[in-house]
Structure 1
Amino acid sequence: MLAGTPGSARHSSSPATGLKKQPAEPRPSASVILLSPMNQVLLLHRVHTSSAFPSAHVFPGGNLSAFHDGDIPPSGDARRHADSLPYRLGAIRETFEESGILLARDMRAGGDALLNLSSADRDEARRAIYENRDRFVDWVERVGGVVDAENLLPFTRWITPEATPKRFTTQMYLYMLPLSSSEDPAIAAAQSEAMIPTPDGGVEHMAARFDDAASWLEKQRKGEIILFPPQCFLLQLISQFLTGPLPPRAGSVNNLAARATEHYAWQRERLRGFLDAVPTATEPRAAGHHTARIPWKDKVISPVTLGLRRSDRRTILGLDKPGLELKGTNRGGDLERVVLVKFGKGVVRDVEVRSREEVLAEEREAERAAEALKL
């Protein structure tokens, strides 16, 4: 999970002493953008009483656990903000706990397929792992599998701004489920938006569902669901490549199935290329910035408030800074885009990804118009 409220780029001060309050230490966490065999994206619907992201749709993920995931780099260690095995194990464990989908290879079948277990076995294991009665990796090995950490693809890191009370350093990953059809009960449930029993008794999540990235974004635009800035931003990026099913065309059933598989494989190939490609910007100013030479797999984003839009009072979030902990390093995010969002009492709405140059140009024009009215 990832805190989406940007706060301020400045340290807050104690009203009694006037001294700067030290920002909270970012907690290591990891999330997975999970693609179905048809390249749809899994989102979990959080309950309105959730401790984080109330009522929002989020990627599966959560905080790292030393008990399950191994040694977590300490505060002040640069590795705390970099992809590593504990982050990968945490991402896969949290995905399993929250959705029941197990990203582990079946070693009894040679390791080429995902491990497929009954819903009853999964639910029992999810409770034991959630309650720390069983270590996740040990359980996977006992049932004949190995955690598929190597097929997680890093796709940005997000560090909560320093003024926010709860802070996270969240490694985002992509994982692409096999293109072949699957009888996995957890995947089938998410494809029909089934109510998924969670080991916490439903305290945090209501349901999980796969849908097209563009469909999630459209639902957010219509106000049907809540997406926080990181989720909206990443869905916007991948929607360029995951453009939905193959257009219908005459042909045999077998031929159509083969063409569909090729279509989804082509989408994935382009998306993989996007993660590695540089430069990451096309607008002249952004393309000349050092962040354009950082591939998407390595970008670190800590949103910074640039101001409020005159037209609709939405907050403008800059995405190029890597955050307090990485200040002065060569790391960074995206100068080409900003996120517009309206915040209010833990809820966000009207989230939109826009060109930074266009938005700032609109603000300059609005300022000139306001000044002209004063004359």
Structure 2
Amino acid sequence: MPAGTPGSARHSSTAAGLKKQPAEPRPSASIILLSPTNQVLLLHRVHTLSAFPSAHVFPGGNLSAFHDGDIPPPGDAGRHADSLPYRLGAIRETFEESGILLAQHMCAGGDALLNLPSADRDEARRAIYENKERFVDWVERVGGVVDAENLVPFTRWITPEATPKRFTTQMYLYMLPLSSSEDPAIAAAQSEAMIPTPDGGVEHMAARFDDAASWLEKQRKGEIILFPPQYFLLQLISQFLTGPPPPSAGSVNNLAAGVTEHYAWQRERLRGFLDAVPTATEPRAAGHHTAWIPWKDKVISPVTLGLRRSDRRTILGLDKPGPELKGTERGGDWERVVLVKFGKGVVRDVEVRSREEVLAEERKAERAAEALKL
């Protein structure tokens, strides 16, 4: 059937007439990057961008067939699943945007990352951004291998269908080795240095590591902008990444070993969380099929459930996987919702709450409003 006719791939017939189909989501990937002290890297986007202006975001971006290999086409189930192109894209974009290279030395053992001079990194970032050399070829040429194996899947987000620009974004968690704090790019990010991005700073102004709880607190104070996916994921991991250990007496060597063990323990708990089911604790939520999808496999396409009567914030449900995966067994998180107030290009007052509690509050508010009419 020709494209554009009723019932074709682009349009479907409804009682109200022709309804345009959602835009095809573009494959992208992003990394929640943990420092050796389990802080999280966020990039500050400039205010002139059309997508997420002025927001703090995880490093990542669109997949590239030139750099990342064959990308599953629309309609292919693999387009919305973890695969090597998504992993390569996530690592490449992180390198382009922050200079942090998630690659190991080809001949060395252990988990130490390949460390190159900053000047060499910056030159490569420009060349890769401009497609002058394939990312994996450059990594191999300098004696490294991309560390795709140590990426841990941590949800996929598909943009709601009403949005003109849509993405299917695979999120990953990557834990920098506990011994890698001497890396110059990591040190620069920790000091909130301006990063020499390949496009001259058009997309990102700075990169910084901070505690997950600190990022959330800055958002609550209005100091930074976090969109719902970033806020939601930071909220989840903040349960486990709770900062440094409390002060204790002992020798310098024993204290250092204790600190390392503390951060390793946090990471182990977080890894267990990503694999565990059920993911819900409330009885009704635990009975929903999404509770039996581990966090590493959840697919979330936010859906508006309504507006709060009390503060007019939008209530976003997180259990649906999006139109592309409708009718499959995939899904997100039924137990929680995100409350958010949308403005022109910005969001504020983001909060994660229990779905049951929020909807119960709305029913109570509705009954109170009806009583006032009597």
Tell me the CA shift for residue 21 of structure 1: 1.3
Per-residue CA distance 1:267-303 (angstroms, 9 max, x = gap)? 0000000000000001111100100000000000000
Alpha-carbon displacement from aligned partner over 1:75-125 (angstroms, at most 9, x marks no partner): 000000000000000000000000000000012423631000011000000
Q: Distance in 2 between matches of 1:219 and 1:269?
A: 27
Work out the CA distance in 2 between the residues paired with 1:128 and 1:55.
26
Alpha-carbon separation, structure 1, partners of 2:4 and 2:193: 27
The verdict on how the C-alpha distance between 1:274 and 1:10 changes in structure 2, with shifts beyond 3 A counting, is: farther
Evaluate the alpha carbon distance shift between residue 103 and residue 181 of structure 1 in structure 2; reply closer, same or farther with a 3 A threshold: closer
- CA–CA distance in structure 1, aligned partners of residues 8 and 147 of structure 2: 38
1:119-150, Cα deviation, whole Å (9 max, x unpaired): 10000000000000010000000000000000
Aligned residue number for residue 269 of structure 1: 268
Secondary structure, aligned partner of 1:140? helix
Superposed CA deviations along residues 184-225 of structure 1, whole A, max 9, x for unmatched, are 110000111110010011100000000000000000001000
Cα 1:62–1:104, aligned 2, differ >3 Å: closer, same or farther? Answer: same
Q: How many equivalent pairs are there?
A: 374
Change (3 A) 1:228 1:11: farther
Whole-angstrom CA distance in 2 between matches of 1:7 and 1:161: 22
Shift of 1:12: 11
SS at 2:195's partner residue? Answer: coil
Aligned CA distance change for structure 1 residues 81 and 42 (closer, same or farther; 3 Å): same
C-alpha distance in structure 2 between counterparts of 1:5 and 1:35, whole Å: 49
Name the CA shift for 1:171/1:6 in 2 (closer, same or farther; >3 Å). farther
Superposition pairs of residues 220-235 of structure 1, within 5 angstroms: 220-235=219-234
Quick one: structure 1 residues 8 and 345, their matched pair in 2 at CA, closer, same or farther if it must change by over 3 Å?
farther
Compare 342-351 and 1-10 and name the one that shifted more: 1-10
Gaps of 5+ in 2: none
Q: CA deviation at 1:8?
A: 22
**Displacement of 1:17 after TM fit?**
9.5
Distance change in 2, residues 1:5/1:159 (3 Å): farther
Q: Once structures 1 and 2 are overlaid, which stretch shifts more, 229-238 or 111-120? A: 111-120
CA distance in 2, matches of 1:190, 1:12: 49
The aligned residue for residue 68 of structure 1 is: 67
Report the 3-state secondary structure (helix = DSSP H, G, I; strand = E; otherwise coil) of the residue aligned with 2:18. coil
Higher RCO by CA contacts (8 Å cutoff, separation 6 or greater):
1
Instruction: Describe the superposition over 1:144-176 as per-residue Cα deviations: whole angstroms up to 9, x where unpaired.
Output: 000000000000000001110000000000000
Aligned counterparts of 1:277 and 1:114: Cα–Cα separation in 2: 29
Please tell me whether residue 117 in structure 1 is matched to residue 112 in structure 2.
no
Is this contact kept in 1: 2:28–2:89, CA < 8 A? yes
Assess, with a 3 A threshold, how the Cα gap between structure 1 residues 199 and 12 changes in structure 2: closer, same or farther: farther
**Cα gap change, 1:163 to 1:4, in 2 (>3 Å):** farther
> What secondary structure does 1:8 align onto?
coil
Q: How far apart, CA to CA, are the structure 2 residues paired with 1:281 and 1:326?
A: 22
Given the superposition, is the C-alpha separation of residues 27 and 181 from structure 1 closer, same or farther in structure 2, using an over 3 Å criterion? Answer: closer
Distance in 2 (alpha carbons) for counterparts of 1:4 and 1:188? 53
Structure 1 pair 83–181 and aligned structure 2 pair: CA distance change class (3 A):
closer
Secondary structure in 2 matching 1:20: strand
2:42 corresponds in structure 1 to 43
Q: How many Å apart are 1:22 and its aligned residue?
A: 1.7
**Worse-superposed segment, 49-58 or 79-88:** 49-58
Tell whether the 8 Å contact from 2:2 to 2:8 is kept in structure 1 after alignment: no
| Aligned partner of residue 266 in structure 1, secondary structure | helix
8 Å Cα contact 2:308-2:314 kept in structure 1: yes
8 Å contact from structure 1 (residues 4, 160) kept in 2:
no
**Aligned residue in 1 for 2:5:** 5
Give the whole-Å Cα distance in 2 for the aligned partners of 1:249 and 1:117: 36
Distance 2:8 2:192 in 1: 37
The answer to whether the 8 Å contact 1:2/1:160 transfers is no
Quote the offset at 1:51 in angstroms: 2.7
Structure 1 residues 85 and 130: alpha-carbon distance in aligned structure 2, compared to 1, 3 A threshold: same
**Cα distance 1:309–1:17, how it changes in 2: closer, same or farther (>3 A)?**
closer
**For the residues of structure 2 that align with 1:267 and 1:364, how far apart are their CA atoms?**
39
- Does residue 340 in structure 1 map to residue 339 in structure 2? yes
TM-score (norm 1): 0.95
CA contact (8 A) 2:6 2:12 kept: no
Residue 346 of structure 1: how far off its partner (Å): 1.4
Q: Is the 8 A contact 1:46 1:206 kept in 2?
A: yes
TM-score by length of 2: 0.95
Number of the residue aligned with 2:250: 251
2:36/2:176 contact within 8 Å kept? yes
CA shift in 2, pair 1:13/1:31, >3 Å: farther
Q: Which runs of 5+ in 1 are unaligned?
A: none
- Correspondence for 2:58: 59
Distance 1:4 1:30, change over 3 A: farther
Alpha-carbon distance in structure 2 between the residues aligned to 1:3 and 1:358: 45
Q: Tell whether the 8 Å contact from 1:6 to 1:304 is kept in structure 2 after alignment.
A: no
> Matched residues in 2 for 1:171 and 1:353: separation?
21
Contact 2:113/2:180 (8 A) holds in 1: no
